[in-house]
Amino acid sequence: MPQALIHGRHYGTGKRKRAIARVFLKPGSGDITVNGRTLAEYFPRETSQMIARQAFEIIEKMSDYDVTATVCGGGVAAQAEAVRHGISRALLHVDGELRSPLKKAGLLTRDAREKERKKPGQPGARKKFQFSKR
């Protein structure tokens, strides 16, 4: 995998549903910034914060890197998972040895589930209009 080093920072792209996260890692004190705000400000729910930090907890290097992420699209939960995916990919560029624990935890696999398209002649993707026999 080619080194993704941009201006001294390691880069990773994370995706989940319609959410896309651009994540930059640099050596630091463990600060996570999402769209110019702190992690707690951007993701007020504790579970979303935990999901975003999950990659660091697995490799046990929580306070070694500063994270700067830009996220757009999707909902709050999908954005948190996109940030997690981006952090995991960026950590691979930092150290290739981290691939095994991250892969085992399933953080490198892109969750391919997307919203199903609406079909013609139906009100939604699966739902049908009410059927009247007479």
Note whether residue 27 is domain-resident.
yes
Residue 110 lies inside a defined structural domain of this protein: no
- 25 in a domain, yes or no? yes
pLDDT at 68: 96
DSSP class of residue 61?
-
Q: Which among 77, 69, 67 is positioned nearest to 27, based on CA atoms? A: 67
Domain that holds residue 44: 5-104
Tell me how far apart the alpha carbons of residues 61 and 53 are, in angstroms, rounded to a whole number. 10
Whether 88 is in a domain gets the answer yes
In whole angstroms, give the CA distance from residue 17 to residue 37: 22
The SS3 assignment for 22 reads: strand
Asked, for residue 115, whether it belongs to a domain, the answer is no
Query: How far is 90 from 14, CA to CA, in rounded Å?
Result: 9
Any domain includes 22? yes
Q: Find the CATH number of the domain harbouring 32.
A: 3.30.230.10
**Which pLDDT does position 101 carry in this prediction?**
94
Rounded CA-CA distance 88/96 in Å is 11
Planar angle of CA 58, 60, 64, nearest 5 degrees? 125
Per-residue pLDDT of the chain (134 residues; tens, 9 = 90+): 455 777 778 999 999 999 999 999 999 998 999 999 999 999 999 999 999 999 999 998 878 899 999 999 999 999 999 999 999 999 999 888 999 999 999 999 999 999 999 999 999 999 999 999 98
- Asked whether the beta carbons of 89 and 13 are under 8 A apart, the reply is yes
68 assigned to some structural domain: yes
Reading the block at residue 57, the tokens are: 């907890």
Token readout for 99 is: 């691939």
**What is residue 64's predicted lDDT score, i.e. its pLDDT?**
87
| Residue 99 included in any domain | yes
pLDDT, residue 2, reads 52
The count of domains in the chain is 1
Write down the pTM of the prediction: 0.88
